[in-house]
Amino acid sequence: MALLEKGAKAPLFEALDQDGDRVALSDYLGRKVVLYFYPKDDTPGCTKEACAFRDNFPKFKEIGVEVLGVSIDSEKRHKKFVEKYDLPFRLVVDEEKKVVQDYGVWGLKKFMGKEYMGTNRVTYLIGEDGTIEHVWPKVKPAGHAGELLEYLQTSA
């Protein structure tokens, strides 16, 4: 499946977060949501990205933007990741790979000459009305949160 495009309706989902609490995209209607997909908890790139969101989290809150991270890791792995790095936002559990497939981020990847299926690092900005406002298809983990904030501040 291809990535969703700007203007598309964001697929609704209902899943659990790192605490076993229900998280549903429909609960965020009326607010902008940064929905970022990442490959694996507690790996170098994913940790850089999560910590950048953590460090910029007050700025996202200040402008009324929610941040949700999504990976196919378990609730237990998410919980350890959140606690280890003091992440202030929710991580969505997608062990069934439904959300990653609905958003077109599950696909063929290459690492050290080997091909495998996995989650591509993609971020969607979902508008208040539930449509995709912007897509970042090739994310650089370290500077991504700042890039998003800059976009949000200049497009407001």
- Residue 1: the pLDDT is 60
Find out if CATH 3.40.30.10 is the number for domain 14-155.
Answer: yes
Exactly one of 23, 33, 34, 46 is catalytic; which is it?
A: 46
Q: How confident is the model at residue 108 (pLDDT cuts 50, 70, 90)?
A: confident
For the purposes of burial, counting CB atoms within 10 Å of the CB of 112, is it exposed (0-12), middle (13-18) or buried (19 or more)? exposed
Domain ranges of the chain: 14-155
Contacts of 6 by beta carbon, 8 Å cutoff, 6+ apart: 132, 133, 134, 135
Clarify whether 51 is annotated catalytic: no
Name the nearest CA neighbour of 130 among 15, 1, 24.
24
- Residue 93: the pLDDT is 98
Q: Are 108 and 36 in contact (CB under 8 A)?
A: no
Residue 79, token pair as written in the block: 């919980």
Q: How confident is the model at residue 85 (pLDDT cuts 50, 70, 90)?
A: very high
